[in-house]
Amino acid sequence: MPIVQVTLTQGRSPETIRSMITAVTEALADTGVAPKENVRVLVHEIPTEHFAAGDVTIAERHASQSTAPEEDPS
């Protein structure tokens, strides 16, 4: 019985998460890893304040991108 753990930041719709679970389940079943009914998918959603790369959280990165001045296209 394969168990797939997916970790991502919060903010996706329930429909998107559900679609991802289906795609992961079908991928394992289609490749012959296990029958569909034996596949387990665990989704861990992490708050953007608790996920960082290069000492910058995702929340901080989003905040700095939304306050950054836009470049003049001319």
φ and ψ of 46, to 5 deg: -110, 135
CB 19 within 8 A of CB 56: no
69 belongs to the catalytic site = no
How many angstroms separate the CA atoms of 68 and 54, rounded? 19
Active site (catalytic) residues: 2
